[in-house]
Amino acid sequence: MAVVSASTSGAEEVRDDTALPGEKPGGGSPLAEFTTLRLGGPATGLVVATSENELVDAVRAADGGGHRLLVLGGGSNLVIADEGFDGHAVRIATKGREYDNLGDGFVQLTAEAGEDWDDVVADSVAQGLGGLECLSGIPGLAGATPVQNVGAYGVEVAELLVSVDLLDRRTGRVRTVQAADLGLRYRTSVLKHSDEAVVLRARFRLHDSGLSAPIRYAELARTLGVEPGERVDAAKAREVVLGLRRGKGMVLDPADHDTWSAGSFFTNPILPEAELPAALERIAEKVGPDQRIPQYPAEGGGKLSAAWLIERAGFAKGHQGPGGRVALSGKHTLALTNRGGATTADLLELAREVRDGVREAFGVTLVPEPVMVDCAV
């Protein structure tokens, strides 16, 4: 989760050294340590909020004082400029999980925004609950999952989310918003590009059968040895998903630079139905008629594979950027990685090279998935 904003209170934006409640001066402390890319310069100051009151007080103080504010979650989907952030940062570190029996075989899980997401998934599976297992191993915090509408291996948060509690920064009040009102779509929501709310907690509806959600993703079904649509033991599904993610460098490991990334850097492009045939024809001309072009149904059109396009445009796994300090992961072409000693400028240069190469080859423009803080591709 990352929310970047000026004040939403209507006050004139101020840049000064006025501290927020509980803030530690951050002038020489890079925000890189709070991102999985390990990139980014410092903020003016930093608050680590371990309770809802601390979080709400810090955000209200920033808004009331007209200060720029960066709300940090797990930093797994975040790119911060080398110059840092000219404003205050608040890191969400709230903890807590609750389970409520809804009857009819369903249980509601409530997770505080600062809970580690994979810990939430692991605990739900250990409790004999199914639904979240395919989302195992995704780095970040629970509060970020509705913002991004996190998804993997055929499951999206939108299918399981009941509601979120938000701090409405326009009013300074806490309110509950139902999942249906969050505009949840492929890897996005109304929260992703808005600075008007901060997620405090999220609620998910899970089933108590101990079985997974129906296995939809072909690779996962093959590895499990089942047909698409079948259900398996949720713990087994989690184990296999974690194995698949590790094989792609998508489970955090400080010793493995292939995991020093923001996950998938580009979203899979969704082309409108009217544009899809011409795009497929153009791609086929480049790769040859015998190549199967991966495509999947999507709302209003078709979804293509960004990884497939990147590889066919000539970017192999391990392709290096400036000075070898950044590179495509050696395990997965969608991950742009910090090989050690990189800068955000290095990363953005590699991202532009890949984006422009795919556009030149196929006429398809890839869109970055991470939130960009004072920088752009």
Is the model's pLDDT at 234 over the cut of 50? yes
Both 178 and 224 in a single domain?
A: yes
Give the pLDDT confidence score for residue 15 in this predicted structure: 45
* 128-148 residue pLDDT tens: 999 999 999 999 999 999 999
Q: What confidence tens digit (pLDDT) does each residue in 323-339 have?
A: 999 999 999 999 999 99
Are residues 127 and 238 located together in one domain of the fold? yes
pTM: 0.87
Domain count, the chain: 3
| Confidence at residue 25, expressed as pLDDT on a 0 to 100 scale | 66
Label residue 303 by pLDDT band (50, 70, 90). very high
How confident is residue 293, by pLDDT bands cut at 50, 70 and 90?
Answer: very high
| 163 classed as catalytic | no
Q: Which of 91, 187, 238, 355 is catalytic?
A: 187
Q: Is 115 a catalytic residue?
A: no
Q: Which of 54, 115, 133, 369 is catalytic?
A: 369
- What is the predicted pLDDT for the residue at 24? 74
Q: Distance between CA 102 and CA 336 in Å, rounded?
A: 42
Rounded Cα–Cα distance for residues 286 and 289 (Å): 9
Q: Does residue 107 share a domain with residue 230?
A: yes
The answer on pLDDT for 54 being more than 70 is yes
Q: What is the pLDDT of residues 251-277, one digit of tens each?
A: 999 999 999 999 999 999 999 999 999
pLDDT > 90: what percent of the chain? 88
- Of the candidates 7, 136, 212, 264, the residue annotated as catalytic is 264
**175 and 223 fall within a common domain:** yes
55: containing domain = 2-92
Instruction: For residue 369, indicate whether it is catalytic.
Output: yes
Q: Domain boundary at 247, 274, 299, which? A: 247
Separation of alpha carbons 213 and 50, rounded Å: 33
Query: 344 with 265, same domain?
Result: yes
Q: What is the domain-level CATH number for residue 22? A: 3.30.43.10
